Structure 1
Amino acid sequence: MTTTSLAHRATAVAARASDLSKVYGLGETQVVALDRVSVDFRQGEFTAIMGPSGSGKSTLMHCVAGLDSFSSGSVQLGETELSTLKDKQLTQLRRDKIGFIFQAFNLLPTLTALENITLPMDIAGRKPDKQWLDQVISMIGLADRLGHRPTQLSGGQQQRVAVARALASQPEIIFGDEPTGNLDSRSGAEVLGFLRNSVRELGQTVVMVTHDPAAASYADRVIFLADGRIVDEMLHPSADGVLDRMKAFDAKGRTS
């Protein structure tokens, strides 16, 4: 790969929000969940989104991922403007271009781990790239559990299957909404390690909403929201650094 292409990859944008606003209700009951937010999520980067409850962090992720509509502004996934898409096109975009990992594992209990991993591609009528699939399965360390159903797996193993499912279709970007929220600290660390490795080893792009400073420390950068706006950003975060930043926001909120 040339120096020019490396530089391009480092600055290429997987998803972009521009002046993004999301408003619920009218008049006195109006709630501004997002207030003219502009942010880029760069390719091959792991970004964590943090903020106090009600800050708009999940709303931002859902709007950028095409899971929720927005009131004004724009969202681009690659070169595609989401606001121009009809429902069917948006569904296809989510299926073909985006991977999702949620706090609930969302595995089908009647399917094996491998069948759960390949399910989105099966629905789309696409065959998985065997070499890529083998690489993903090797990375998450579940090669000996592929024939087991979810009830035969621990919570951490189930979430690893969900991570593999998100990675298997080689999406342009993966969104995680509190993906370790239902896991103990050890299992959560394993899953976060897999996500970080998917960025470093596979060139994946990951955007994760979390309230946990330890989880955020696995990311390349953290963006902080408060009252529907981005108020800060931290590169190469540490758990202690993120915790201190969150405490500062809490203190400011109490005194304002």
Structure 2
Amino acid sequence: MTPTTTGEAIAARADEVWKVYGSGEARVVALRGVSASFGQGRFTAIMGPSGSGKSTLMHCLAGLDTVDRGSVHIGGTQVSGLGDKALTRLRRDRVGFIFQQFNLLPTLSAAENIRLPLDIAGRKPDPQWWDVVIDTVGLRDRLSHRPSQLSGGQQQRVACARALVARPDVIFADEPTGNLDSRSGAEVLSFLRASVREHRQTIVMVTHDPVAASYADRVVFLADGEIVDELHDPTAETVLDTMKRLDTYGEPVMI
């Protein structure tokens, strides 16, 4: 099946994407002709059993991994086939990343970590947007602190602000609450939800947590490298029910 976001501008999409790892007896088909569209200004979660291909799909969408067949687009730009320099520019200027590991530089303050992608690109933050982002993450009184002086939840909010401050076309979040306790995780998810609702940010998040997925507008489910279901306006209960059904699927088939 092909999830669509009818009537919306598309921030990212995959068209008939195949991804294979290894060869011979170790050959694993991670994605099998996956097509999916992710609407602009929407929060989409990608879920599935272990080995379903959810992280592979996100990495292909973000240009962190290549596709073997099919194509990937960010907005109107085809990512698959871009040269190294063009791909680096696209990831730097149009894509934001949030990972399970916060990936903050320990010698820099929170403010310096947030500005880092702009500094690397030789760009200045827009002062008005900077204030919006800082107030949204609620860390104005912690900007001079280094990561070691911040809680895990605060560090991840710094990472979220870093992804948002460059105003990317889309933010990809890979298990962003995986290293956080439930309270800190809820803070981060509330921030991501607010960035979509109030600032029209586009977020695509891989998660295994039904509660995290319930913050999204839509959940896309993968199993055995294929999209097998989706939910709109999910709740933790409806996500959990769907995941229980998908547990009958196994790991990607070795062929």
Q: Give the TM-score band, short-chain normalised.
A: over 0.9
Measure the CA separation in 1 of the matches of 2:88 and 2:112.
21
Name the counterpart of 1:213: 210
Equivalent residue for 1:4?
none
Given that 1:10 and 1:44 are in contact with CA atoms closer than 8 Å, whether structure 2 keeps it comes out as: no
Find the aligned partners of 1:10 and 1:173 in 2 and give their Cα distance.
Answer: 18
Select the residue among 135, 145, 148 that pairs with 1:151.
148
Residue 245 of structure 1 corresponds to which residue in structure 2? 242
Quote the offset at 1:82 in angstroms: 1.1
| CA positional deviation for 1:252 | 5.7
CA distance in 2, matches of 1:162, 1:27: 40
Question: Higher relative CO (CA 8 A, sep ≥ 6), structure 1 or 2?
Answer: 2
Report 1:68-87 matches (<5 A).
68-87=65-84
Q: Percent identity?
A: 70
CA contact under 8 A between 1:10 and 1:43: conserved in structure 2? Answer: no
Residue type at the aligned position of 1:250: D
User: Which residue in 1 is equivalent to 2:23?
Assistant: 26
Q: State the alpha-carbon separation in 2 of the partners of residues 213 and 220 from structure 1.
A: 13
The residue identity in structure 1 corresponding to 2:91 is R
The answer for unaligned runs of 5 or more in structure 2 is none
Q: Which amino acid aligns with 1:212?
A: D
Displacement of 1:9: 10
Residue 5 of structure 1 corresponds to none
Partners of 2:250 and 2:11 in 1: CA distance? 32
Once residues 117 and 84 of structure 2 are traced to their aligned partners in structure 1, the CA distance between those partners, rounded to angstroms, is 18
Alpha-carbon distance in structure 2 between the residues aligned to 1:36 and 1:10: 24
More helix by share: 1
Instruction: Assess, with a 3 A threshold, how the Cα gap between structure 1 residues 9 and 160 changes in structure 2: closer, same or farther.
Output: farther
Q: Is the Cα–Cα contact under 8 Å of residues 9 and 43 in structure 1 kept in the other structure?
A: no
1:138 and 2:144 correspond: no
| Structure 1 residues 219 and 127, CA gap change in structure 2 (3 angstroms) | same
What does 1:50-199 correspond to in 2, within 5 Å?
A: 50-199=47-196
When residues 116 and 9 of structure 1 are mapped into structure 2, their CA distance, relative to the original with a 3 A threshold, is farther
Given that 1:99 and 1:166 are in contact with CA atoms closer than 8 Å, whether structure 2 keeps it comes out as yes
CA distance in 1, matches of 2:63, 2:183: 31
Q: Verify the 8 A CA contact 2:63 2:80 in the aligned structure 1.
A: no
After TM superposition, the score normalised by the length of structure 1 is: 0.94
Instruction: Tell me how far 1:27 sits from its aligned partner.
Output: 2.9
CA distance in 1 between partners of 2:80 and 2:178 (Å): 31
Q: Distance in 1 between matches of 2:213 and 2:30?
A: 22
Uncovered stretches (5+) of structure 1, i.e. residues with no partner: 1-7
Q: For 1:196-255, what per-residue CA distance to the aligned partner results, in whole angstroms no more than 9, with x for missing partners?
A: 10000000000000000000000000000000000000000000110011011114659x
3-state DSSP class of the match of 2:177? Answer: coil
Distance 2:186 2:145 in 1: 23
